[in-house]
Chains A and B, each alone.
Chain A
Amino acid sequence: MTTLTLLGPGEPGPCSAPALIAALQAAPAGSPFSPERLALAEDLSQSLLAHPQARTVPELVALAFFLRRSALQRLQQEFQALHTPETLLVPRGLAFHIPPTNVDTIAVYAWALSMLVGNHDLVRLSSRSSPLGELLLAVLLPVLDRAPAGLRSSLAFVRYGHEEQLTATFSAGCDLRIVWGSDETVRSVRAAPVPPSATELVFFDRWSFCLLSTAAWRALDPPGRQRLAEGLFNDAWPFGQQGCASPRMLVWVGEGALACGQELGRALVEVLDARGWQPDASQVSATTAFAWACALDLPVQEIQHLHPGLWLIGLGPVEQLPRSHPGGGLLFQLRLNRLQELLPLVQRKDQTMTCFGFDSDELRGLAAGLGSRCPDRMLPVGQALSFHRYWDGHDLLAALSRRVHLPVPA
């Protein structure tokens, strides 16, 4: 009895793993940013925006924007720019995607980039599914079905549970494995070997925070403060504040941080109120319990519960950042006098540092000081969750491709 289900393209139903792998390997080779690949991505973008339900979901609208025609053209130019006179990028071959347990937009971003650079793609969705994931599939599968036959035969979205044998079969047949998940998941997937010729991209469990300059905050006029609060809201509140890139802590640098934190707190309450933000009861209970435990476990200096969906927990000096977090609108606040004080606190686990009030030179200096521990992303507030070809320390356009060295043209 097979537990492997092909979702699409084509007729959904049970299928055999070896046959599927063989079919994907036999599909005609793709070329990067070929017209039919661009058309497939654009079709997905347009279909998302045309879908009465999908178009109301911010995460799906963001995906549609990422794949809109002008963005694809820019992406193609960026890809062309990766070529050098003596190198050429070619697809890696068959990419086996293992997204986070529940299908989500992030899996589709990674798939889309892989497809665009010319790979064949096998995407494994888990047997658990979310309403958003189902909605996304409902839009995606007909788009795949409309693709030209050659391209269609190089793509497969499948669903199965925890069958290690299937993961082993697909891993053994791929040229590139892309794994998203907790450290635990990564370890268990790694038990299944990929061929010696294959490479692997791993997106493991991460932590993120927001760096703010008190001087820059104080210089903002009220509308500017409101915009910053909106940006922070867009970074931290979606995904229950449990995305890898969701900031969990505000790190203030400079004088008067206590007052700045209070002012930002009030601005955030206005954003939450204006949007009618309602956290869910179980989340409130979990976050509340966490906040109380924090008060006993961390050098907490003050706690502000400003809204059911907003806790601000001010910390005194710490030797390391607290990296457990319940989500649900809880922001630690750490106050530093100088940017240098951040250096010992940052770890390899830290992915995204959204920033406000620091110029590029300061951030570059910080990156140089942090070296291998530097966060993968140092972006303006408001962009924490924006997917980009640069993700988790990789340039995905390059990492999904193979670079061929050849003579410089005459």
Chain B
Amino acid sequence: MSPTEPLADELWALVDWHRQRCEPYRRLLELFHPSPPADRGLSELPWLPVSLFKSHRLLSVPEEQVFRELSSSGTQGPPSRIVLDRATASAQTQALSRSLRALLGPARLPMLIVDRESILRPQGGVTARTAGVLGMMTFGRDHLFLLDEQEQPRLPELHAWLARHGGAPFFAFGFTGLVWQGLRAAAELDLARGGPGPDLSQGILLHGGGWKRLIAQAVDRDSFRQTLGRLTGLTRIHDFYGMVEQIGTVYLEGPDGLLHPSPYGELIIRDPITLRPCPEGQPGLVQALSVLPRSYPGHSLLTEDIGSWHRADTPRGRAWRIHGRLPRAEARGCSDTLVSRPTATSSGAGAPP
């Protein structure tokens, strides 16, 4: 690892913090790390599989201090449950604010949200999409929700809003798939009606979330940027990486197209089979570190995302690329889906003796 690991001490202190306050966490450390490592570096930090927050409600504060509970809108399996107290919620908001100011400047900008307004009133628990929109809204003003309830562009409202705010820098935000769909639909609809297409050239677009839908349509990063640029004039387009389990710790896309470090966190890329740290450029599982979570032990999580690290002009000389998610393990066996595959054995698996 790099000789300077400014976050390592803070993160190891968090390990102790949670060990003392979260009984399940203490038990996990005892079982999986019976002997603590001699070196307290970043890559030695114990992690939890992020899926543990789907099956278990882990908290490091007394129940009465729970201030908010987030649940992610996971497309796979049950949602994650993240328990926040006031201190952690506020630390996360402040961290997000600091990260975004670097992108948006100190003033609150008018904000275009590529989503529908009803996302603020979720049915059931708070989803990552709602939490994301709500969290980001505090960094803008004069919000316009671009989409109607059918997730179709509200063109007249957009034109009216742009007439007021489109001449100076404004903030645009949305989840990657919706941004791709919503902004293109708005531009195409406008052109079809004989308009010039919406002028978003002053916009600073921040988009995050999965590329799954886009990759299925064979849309890559370059075509995403080029198409949106051509249709709307957007040039400042920034992807970000973050997760509901570590709100406030965001990795923003830099000019080099890589995701840049957060002051509050770090990513470690691990070989998906050996779980050892990967060399530069080699895709592996993302382990996400964050110094912010104190009300739940989410400071070091092994995700199911695939990423790689690359040399870059950043404090630790690293930046990342996220490639997608590990495919689900296929259920096999006699019960319904007996898919077998040739094993690596030469003698008979199942051969009679």
Q: Chain A interface (Cβ within 8 Å of chain B)?
A: 56-59, 61-62, 65-66, 71, 99-102, 104-106, 128, 130-133, 180-182, 184-185, 203, 205-206, 230, 233-234, 237-240, 242-246, 275-289, 292-293, 295-297, 300, 302-303, 305, 308, 326-328, 382-383, 385-387
With contacts A234-B348, A385-B349 known, what are 4 further pairs, Cβ within 8 A? A59-B350, A61-B351, A130-B340, A308-B274
Whether B353 pairs with A284 at a CB distance below 8 angstroms is no
**With a CB–CB cut-off of 8 A, which chain B residues contact A65?**
348, 351-352
In the complex, whether B328 has a CB less than 8 A from a CB of chain A is yes
Contact with A along B312-353 (1 / 0, CB 8 A): 000000000000001111111111111111111111111111
Closest chain-A Cβ to B298's Cβ sits at a distance in Å of 14
14 A-B pairs in the complex with CB atoms less than 8 angstroms apart:
A65-B348, A102-B337, A132-B341, A132-B342, A203-B334, A238-B343, A239-B338, A244-B335, A275-B344, A283-B329, A293-B56, A295-B31, A328-B329, A386-B353
**With a CB–CB cut-off of 8 A, which chain A residues contact B332?**
239-240, 242, 327
**With a CB–CB cut-off of 8 A, which chain B residues contact A289?**
49, 51-52
Known A-B contacts A58-B342, A234-B345, A242-B331; A382 and B353 likewise in contact (beta carbons under 8 Å):
yes
Whether B27 pairs with A296 at a CB distance below 8 angstroms is yes
Partner of A102, one of B339, B346, B348, B351: B339
Complex: A246 Cα to B27 Cα, angstroms: 30
**With a CB–CB cut-off of 8 A, which chain B residues contact A283?**
329
User: B23 — nearest CB in chain A belongs to which residue?
Assistant: A296
**With a CB–CB cut-off of 8 A, which chain A residues contact B31?**
295, 300, 302-303
**With a CB–CB cut-off of 8 A, which chain B residues contact A242?**
331-335
* Most A-side CB within 10 Å, residue of B302, B332, B341: B332
Partner of B345, one of A58, A101, A295, A300: A58
**With a CB–CB cut-off of 8 A, which chain B residues contact A328?**
329
Complex interface residues of chain B between 125 and 179 (CB less than 8 A to chain A): none
**With a CB–CB cut-off of 8 A, which chain A residues contact B353?**
382-383, 386
Whether B326 pairs with A105 at a CB distance below 8 angstroms is no
Whether A185 pairs with B336 at a CB distance below 8 angstroms is yes
**With a CB–CB cut-off of 8 A, which chain A residues contact B349?**
58-59, 62, 234, 237-238, 385
Closest chain-A Cβ to B84's Cβ sits at a distance in Å of 21
Whether A184 pairs with B336 at a CB distance below 8 angstroms is yes
Complex: A74 Cα to B208 Cα, angstroms: 65
In the complex, whether B191 has a CB less than 8 A from a CB of chain A is no
Whether A132 pairs with B339 at a CB distance below 8 angstroms is yes
Whether A293 pairs with B343 at a CB distance below 8 angstroms is no
Partner of A104, one of B273, B302, B331, B339: B339
Whether A234 pairs with B347 at a CB distance below 8 angstroms is yes
**With a CB–CB cut-off of 8 A, which chain A residues contact B336?**
100-101, 181-182, 184-185
Closest chain-B Cβ to A196's Cβ sits at a distance in Å of 29
Complex: A255 Cα to B274 Cα, angstroms: 34
**With a CB–CB cut-off of 8 A, which chain A residues contact B348?**
58, 61-62, 65, 234
Complex interface residues of chain B between 64 and 103 (CB less than 8 A to chain A): none
Q: Which 4 A-B pairs have the closest CB atoms?
A: A242-B333, A385-B350, A281-B272, A100-B338
**With a CB–CB cut-off of 8 A, which chain B residues contact A286?**
328-329
Closest chain-B Cβ to A342's Cβ sits at a distance in Å of 23
Whether A105 pairs with B340 at a CB distance below 8 angstroms is yes
Closest chain-A Cβ to B31's Cβ sits at a distance in Å of 5
Partner of B352, one of A66, A233, A278: A66
Whether A292 pairs with B32 at a CB distance below 8 angstroms is yes
Complex: A284 Cα to B276 Cα, angstroms: 13
In the complex, whether B48 has a CB less than 8 A from a CB of chain A is yes
**With a CB–CB cut-off of 8 A, which chain A residues contact B346?**
58, 275
User: A129 — nearest CB in chain B belongs to which residue?
Assistant: B339
Complex: A18 Cα to B329 Cα, angstroms: 39
**With a CB–CB cut-off of 8 A, which chain A residues contact B327?**
282
Partner of A326, one of B274, B304, B329, B337: B329
Complex: A7 Cα to B120 Cα, angstroms: 54
Closest chain-B Cβ to A306's Cβ sits at a distance in Å of 12
In the complex, whether B13 has a CB less than 8 A from a CB of chain A is no
Partner of B273, one of A181, A182, A308: A308
**With a CB–CB cut-off of 8 A, which chain B residues contact A276?**
344
**With a CB–CB cut-off of 8 A, which chain B residues contact A57?**
342
**With a CB–CB cut-off of 8 A, which chain B residues contact A300?**
31
Closest chain-A Cβ to B50's Cβ sits at a distance in Å of 8
Contact with A along B19-33 (1 / 0, CB 8 A): 000001001100110
Known A-B contacts A275-B345, A285-B326, A296-B28; A243 and B351 likewise in contact (beta carbons under 8 Å):
no
Known A-B contacts A100-B338, A180-B334; A279 and B351 likewise in contact (beta carbons under 8 Å):
no
**With a CB–CB cut-off of 8 A, which chain A residues contact B344?**
275-278
User: B337 — nearest CB in chain A belongs to which residue?
Assistant: A101
User: A313 — nearest CB in chain B belongs to which residue?
Assistant: B31
**With a CB–CB cut-off of 8 A, which chain B residues contact A131?**
341
Whether B328 pairs with A279 at a CB distance below 8 angstroms is no
In the complex, whether B181 has a CB less than 8 A from a CB of chain A is no
Closest chain-A Cβ to B182's Cβ sits at a distance in Å of 32
Known A-B contacts A101-B338, A289-B49; A244 and B343 likewise in contact (beta carbons under 8 Å):
no
In the complex, whether B118 has a CB less than 8 A from a CB of chain A is no
Known A-B contacts A180-B334, A278-B344; A285 and B272 likewise in contact (beta carbons under 8 Å):
yes
**With a CB–CB cut-off of 8 A, which chain A residues contact B275?**
284, 288, 308
Closest chain-B Cβ to A312's Cβ sits at a distance in Å of 12
* Most A-side CB within 10 Å, residue of B27, B51, B326, B352: B352
In the complex, whether B112 has a CB less than 8 A from a CB of chain A is no
**With a CB–CB cut-off of 8 A, which chain A residues contact B351?**
58, 61-62, 65, 386
Complex: A292 Cα to B326 Cα, angstroms: 18
Complex: A303 Cα to B29 Cα, angstroms: 11
Whether A243 pairs with B347 at a CB distance below 8 angstroms is no
Complex: A286 Cα to B334 Cα, angstroms: 19
**With a CB–CB cut-off of 8 A, which chain A residues contact B337?**
100-102, 128
Complex: A78 Cα to B34 Cα, angstroms: 55
Complex: A102 Cα to B207 Cα, angstroms: 41
In the complex, whether B200 has a CB less than 8 A from a CB of chain A is no
In the complex, whether B55 has a CB less than 8 A from a CB of chain A is yes
Complex: A61 Cα to B340 Cα, angstroms: 14
**With a CB–CB cut-off of 8 A, which chain A residues contact B34?**
302
Whether A292 pairs with B340 at a CB distance below 8 angstroms is no
Complex: A90 Cα to B48 Cα, angstroms: 60
Whether A292 pairs with B333 at a CB distance below 8 angstroms is no
In the complex, whether B285 has a CB less than 8 A from a CB of chain A is yes
**With a CB–CB cut-off of 8 A, which chain B residues contact A245?**
334
Complex interface residues of chain B between 268 and 311 (CB less than 8 A to chain A): 272-275, 285, 302, 304
